[in-house]
């Protein structure tokens, strides 16, 4: 099989109106700078402070790294294409963009699950916490997230590589994703669409439900805690739940309905490619005293990188 005649695709992008494109170029460029600086600030603060010893922040640093990588697979092309006359992407670049977007996105989902498990262990099993969440366990969870995401992404790529592309090469999206590509294949892909909706859609829904249940268990356990401990735990869980909703709802709405609603998918995809990664740093830092204190230490008083 393989990709027969097509060597490049044309990305139709988000908008056709020229004025809207220029405005979006400015807005998305600022968003991308905010995503990079906000997430790198969190990443470096955790790495350079004592927070990295705590599992929650260990995972948060990986979450920030995934946000940077995930957005970087999509945003630069989205931004430059807003001003470009011809928005083309080669077949190989398209496949690799799809692979990396799914890889970093799926890793992020699995790390969110690890973070929920960590909160559960902290609040529901405090006496065994150090054993349950040892550094070794943390590394195993991150490695499992990466391996799981790799399997998920490579399967998507293997499906698409086998498809024949011989006709129109216009992708109705701003990056290469599975559904828009399936629509261009010169064969009946309805079974593949159903297969992908069931695997990815079911995975997203199950993960989302598992996360919600874990946070419900955590919140019900909190009723027995002292008011001060409860307030701190509620604050942390609140920020986690916000991130989970912002990331998962658009994702589920993309993968669960039929694959015909691509125009809505483009707008929904903005949520998990640009908006959620931009708000993650704010959500995690503004409500978190430990993080704010660590930032003051690392960036204001002592600067561990100056003397080197």
Tens of pLDDT, residues 149-161:
999 999 999 999 9
Over residues 112-117, mean pLDDT = 90
Q: What is the dihedral of CA 173, 158, 249, 39, to 10 degrees?
A: -80
The pLDDT score that the predictor gives to residue 305 is: 47
Residue whose C-alpha is closest to residue 156's, from 189, 192, 128: 192
∠34-282-99 over CA atoms, to 5°?
Answer: 60
Structure tokens that stand for 111 in this block: 């790390």
Beta bridge partners of 171: 11
Q: Record the tokens describing residue 243, joined without a space.
A: 């991130």
pLDDT at res. 306? 43
Beta bridge partners, 157, equal none
Is residue 16 pLDDT above 80, yes or no? no
Mean pLDDT of the region 239-266: 74
């Amino acid at each position: 099989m393989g990709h027969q005649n097509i060597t490049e695709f044309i990305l139709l992008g988000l908008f056709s109106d020229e004025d809207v494109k220029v405005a979006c170029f400015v807005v998305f460029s600022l968003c991308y700078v905010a995503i990079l600086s906000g997430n790198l600030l969190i990443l470096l603060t955790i790495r350079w402070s004592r927070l990295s010893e705590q599992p929650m922040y260990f995972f948060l640093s990986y979450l920030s790294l995934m946000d940077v990588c995930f957005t970087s697979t999509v945003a630069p092309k989205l931004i430059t294409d807003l001003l470009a006359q011809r928005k083309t992407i080669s077949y190989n670049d398209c496949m690799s963009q799809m692979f990396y977007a799914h890889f970093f996105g799926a890793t992020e989902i699995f790390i969110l699950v690890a973070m929920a498990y960590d909160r559960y262990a902290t609040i529901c099993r405090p006496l065994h916490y150090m054993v349950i969440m040892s550094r070794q366990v943390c590394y195993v969870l991150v490695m499992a997230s990466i391996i799981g995401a790799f399997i998920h992404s490579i399967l998507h790529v293997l499906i698409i590589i086998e498809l024949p592309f011989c006709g129109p090469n216009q992708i109705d999206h701003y990056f290469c994703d599975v559904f828009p590509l399936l629509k261009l294949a010169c064969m009946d892909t309805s079974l593949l669409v159903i297969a992908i909706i069931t695997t990815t859609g079911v995975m997203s829904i199950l993960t989302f439900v598992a996360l919600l249940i874990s946070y419900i268990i955590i919140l019900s356990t909190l009723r027995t805690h002292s008011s001060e401990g409860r307030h701190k735990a509620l604050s942390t869980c609140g920020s986690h739940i916000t991130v989970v909703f912002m990331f998962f709802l658009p994702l589920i709405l993309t993968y669960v309905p039929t694959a015909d609603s691509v125009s809505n998918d483009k707008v929904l995809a903005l949520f998990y490619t640009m908006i959620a990664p931009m708000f993650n740093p704010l959500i995690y830092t503004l409500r978190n005293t430990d993080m704010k204190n660590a930032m003051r230490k690392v960036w204001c008083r002592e600067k561990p990188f100056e003397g080197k």
